[in-house]
A = this chain, B = another copy of it.
C-alpha cells in the first residue's frame, strides 16, 4: 500500500518519540516517522546562528521560528497522520497549533496525553480521530491502520 508518513509533534522532554520509533521498527511497519527539530538549543538558536544575532529576544525567537516553520509545514503537509503529544508540565502551544493546522487540511490527528490534561484538551481531542495515552498505543494504532491487524 506504499509507505505512510507520520509526523510526531509536541513535547521534547521525554523519550516518547524514541519509543514510537522502536515500536514501529520492531513491528516492521511501512511507516516513516518525521519530527520537528527536537534538540531544544538547536531549535531555539538556529535563526540567529544562521541569519545573525538579535538583541531583542522577540526577534531572536522570530528568526528561529521562521526556520522551524519551513521544516514543520513541509512535513505536516506530507504527513498521512499527525501525532500530537501533550505533557503535563508544558504549554506546548505549538503542538496545539499543529493539531489545528492538520485538522484544517484534513489530515488525521492522533493526540497523546494523560488523563490529567483531558479536560483542557477537550476541543483538540474532539478534532482527533484517536486519543492515546502511551507511545505503545500509538504504535498499535499505526499497525492497525497500516496493516489492518491487531
Q: Show the binding face of A for B, using Cβ within 8 Å.
A: 1-2, 4, 32, 34, 37-39, 42, 45-47, 49-51, 56-59, 61-75, 77-78, 80-81, 86, 91-106, 108, 110, 115, 117-132, 137, 140-141, 144-146, 148-150
Cβ A51 vs Cβ B119 within 8 A = no
Q: Which residues of B contact A66 (CB under 8 A)?
A: 126, 128-130
Instruction: Kindly identify which residue among B37, B57, B70, B72 contacts A110, using a CB–CB cutoff of 8 Å.
Output: B70
Chain B minimum-CB-distance residue to A148: B37
Cβ B67 vs Cβ A144 within 8 A = yes
Instruction: Kindly identify which residue among B70, B95, B122 contacts A145, using a CB–CB cutoff of 8 Å.
Output: B70
Q: A81-B74, A101-B103 are in contact. Are A58 and B118 (CB under 8 A)?
A: yes
Q: A144-B37, A145-B74 are in contact. Are A69 and B108 (CB under 8 A)?
A: yes
